[in-house]
Amino acid sequence: MSDWASTVSDPPLSPTWAPGAFAGAQALRAHVREEASPTRERTGLALSSPFPQSLPPPPLPPPPAAGSLTRWAVAPETLLSSLCPLLGGGTAMSGGEQKPKRYYVGVDVGTGSVRAALVDQSGVLLAFADHPIEKWEPQFNHHEQSSEDIWAACCVVTKKVVQGIDLNQIRGLGFDATCSLVVLDKQFHPLPVNHEGDSCRNVIMWLDHRAVSQVNRINETKHSVLQYVGGVMSVEMQAPKLLWLKENLRETCWDKAGHFFDLPDFLSWKATGVTARSLCSLVCKWTYSAEKGWDDSFWKMVGLEDFVADNYSKIGVIGADVRGHGLVCEGQPVTSRLAVICGTSSCHMGISKDPIFVPGVWGPYFSAMVPGFWLNEGGQSVTGKLIDHMVQGHAAFPELQAKATARCQSIYAYLNSHLDLIKKAQPVGFLTVDLHVWPDFHGNRSPLADLTLKGMVTGLTLSQDLDDLAILYLATVQAIALGTRFIIEAMEAAGHSISTLFLCGGLSKNPLFVQMHADITGMPVVLSQEVESVLVGAAILGACASGDFASVQEAMAKMSKVGKVVFPRQQDKKYYDKKYQVFLKLVEHQMEYLAIMNDD
């Protein structure tokens, strides 16, 4: 077997483009058995072997023919030599020793940390490590990171999880990451994305909202590609950020740039030396079409004709078995399921056999997550970050910290238990009968697609004690779940049919968050057997790329399992229907207030 193997598939792509194995949305991939493969706030490229930058990558095969999609996989014999510098602590067995176990490494780059896991061929998580990464906010709505700091953290956690493991048994590595923008020069050195000229800060984070003017002008064009992002492009996508760089950092960044990467594609390049982009990244955040390729007229119309002139060389010349749990989706197609990846922000991933255009919801994207299916992606710009903001900004937060520490609990475990104490005989959710929150403190991503919207709280009193903090925390969690219901209703009104939620990510570990989503949407919530399901999802990509499984679907069937199903409490439905009516009134009133203040 040669060092490189390629597989050709149908979608007509640019001849200079070689995307890797499908990249990744964790929940559908981690929970759905029939047909699945990857995407968003966390998307990634899975390759069967990392090639650190200190080592030359193996020779590349000839470029693929026009109209082909090529996936690169590294032969197992090359894997051993390339893993050693990156994985450090592993051991290499002699050729005569054989072990049946096969392992895969999943690496998840979040907003504030990098995590890695070692996963076996049955999907069992055997080792876990995490490491913080730096964030900068030099001015309001400017959020930056360092690609070198992120890569260093990836190396740290990967070495930890493979400590003592025979490297012959590590068959594949998968990445997922936030959709942040990495900027490098022609020699692959970092370039500054800031006015201070600090080239260490060369990543514009996904939640950065500096390009408001640029995205407004892009949306004013009414170009046809916008119908595939819900009719309105988000400031969090890459085109407005690229235009901001061109207009604001022409000399220090734009003119020197040689490569613009989505973060997951940057990681696969660092690991292999191959600049191939993932189809998922380019379709979901860069306006690429899996059917038609790049649309030259869009880039020219918005003022980024530079990419057309250089043939796009700088930006990408390219489940578990749910039976036996009493779920409505049993026996129904995968299109009846909505994956919710919930961490700092939340993403809502739904698929369909035919394209469905949902106003304010990104997509439809063809084959971006499940091959042959169309993806719609709703989202909430701040969820975990909003909960932190509300809790940490309360006057009783120091008391909460002290009491949680004394009990050796997290602050959220303590708040959940405190809510149980003060609810008395009523259901815990009823504590917010007089307190309501509109959660768009960082604008609305879906389904209103309005970044100017603000957060709202109604029902405040002069109380500042721990009870008050706990109830505000509860109202915030409910507001996020009500926002999910708002997105689901928009998707269903456009033609989706959703019956079950599949949750993963950090917030899915919070039982209150999960129960509120079940109660407020009226749908069962499925959780993975492995708590770190996002990491298992990344490892599944590595397993698929290794060649040990014929497809992502087969790897999912073998490596992912349902852990728990949380059903809605139907007796509380009337209460949450009322909360939802108030929720919708909040944004309606905010629009009215804006109209009053803008009235001449």
Our CA angle for 408, 412, 416, nearest 5°, is 100
* pLDDT for 94 beyond 90: no
Q: Which of 109-113, 199-203, 286-290, 378-382 has the lowest mean pLDDT?
A: 286-290
* pLDDT for 414 beyond 80: yes
- The pLDDT score that the predictor gives to residue 167 is 84
Determine the 3-state secondary structure of 438 from DSSP. Answer: strand
Reported confidence tier of residue 117, pLDDT bands at 50, 70, 90: very high
Reported confidence tier of residue 245, pLDDT bands at 50, 70, 90: very high
* pLDDT for 23 beyond 90: no
Mean pLDDT of 578-586: 98
* pLDDT for 48 beyond 50: no
Token digits of residue 178 = 């936030």
Q: Is the pTM of this model over 0.85?
A: no
- What percent of the chain is predicted at pLDDT more than 90? 70
Beta-bridge partner residues of 4: 74
* pLDDT for 454 beyond 60: yes
* pLDDT for 364 beyond 70: yes
Token digits of residue 153 = 């953290």
Reported confidence tier of residue 87, pLDDT bands at 50, 70, 90: low
Mean pLDDT of 128-134: 97
Strands 436-438, 374-380: pairing is unpaired
Length of the chain: 600
Q: Under a CB-based contact definition with an 8 Å cutoff, are residues 24 and 42 in contact?
A: yes
Q: Under a CB-based contact definition with an 8 Å cutoff, are residues 504 and 26 in contact?
A: yes
Tell me the one-letter amino acid at 550. Answer: A
Within 162-237, residue ranges assigned H as helices are 212-220
Cis peptide preceding 447, ω within 30 of 0: yes
Q: pLDDT digit string (tens) for 542-553?
A: 998 899 998 888
If one compares 464 and 74, the residue with the highest pLDDT of the two is 464
Q: Which of 168-172, 285-289, 314-318 has the lowest mean pLDDT?
A: 314-318
Tell me the one-letter amino acid at 364. Answer: P
- Note the Cα 349 to chain centre separation in Å: 10
Q: Under a CB-based contact definition with an 8 Å cutoff, are residues 39 and 23 in contact?
A: yes
* pLDDT for 371 beyond 90: no
Q: pLDDT digit string (tens) for 221-242?
A: 999 999 999 999 999 999 999 9
Strand positions, DSSP E, 382-438: 436-438
Reported confidence tier of residue 483, pLDDT bands at 50, 70, 90: very high
Our CA angle for 23, 26, 32, nearest 5°, is 105
Reported confidence tier of residue 70, pLDDT bands at 50, 70, 90: very low
Cα 466 to Cα 473: distance, rounded to the nearest angstrom: 10
Reported confidence tier of residue 53, pLDDT bands at 50, 70, 90: very low
Q: Which of 98-102, 181-185, 345-349, 417-421 has the lowest mean pLDDT?
A: 98-102
- The pLDDT score that the predictor gives to residue 272 is 86
- Note the Cα 10 to chain centre separation in Å: 26
Residue 110's Cβ-side half-sphere holds a number of Cα atoms within 13 Å equal to 23
Cα 451 to Cα 589: distance, rounded to the nearest angstrom: 17
* pLDDT for 42 beyond 70: no
- The pLDDT score that the predictor gives to residue 433 is 98
* SS3 track for 270-319: HHHCCCCCCHHHHHHHCCCECCCECCHHHHHHCCCCHHHHCCCCCCCCCC
Reported confidence tier of residue 3, pLDDT bands at 50, 70, 90: very low
Cα 277 to Cα 318: distance, rounded to the nearest angstrom: 6
Task: Show Cβ contacts of residue 72 under 8 Å, excluding neighbours closer than 6 positions.
Answer: 4, 5, 6, 18, 20, 47, 272, 274, 276
Q: pLDDT digit string (tens) for 133-167?
A: 999 999 999 999 999 999 999 999 999 999 999 98
Q: Under a CB-based contact definition with an 8 Å cutoff, are residues 370 and 354 in contact?
A: no
Q: What is the mean pLDDT of the chain?
A: 84
- The pLDDT score that the predictor gives to residue 360 is 96
Torsion of CA 531, 443, 213, 279, to 10 degrees: 30
Residue 540: how many CB atoms within 10 A of its CB?
Answer: 34
- The pLDDT score that the predictor gives to residue 396 is 98
* pLDDT for 28 beyond 70: no
* SS3 track for 461-521: CCCCCHHHHHHHHHHHHHHHHHHHHHHHHHHHHHCCCCCEEEEECHHHHCHHHHHHHHHHH
DSSP 411: H
Determine the 3-state secondary structure of 233 from DSSP. Answer: coil
Cα 531 to Cα 600: distance, rounded to the nearest angstrom: 55
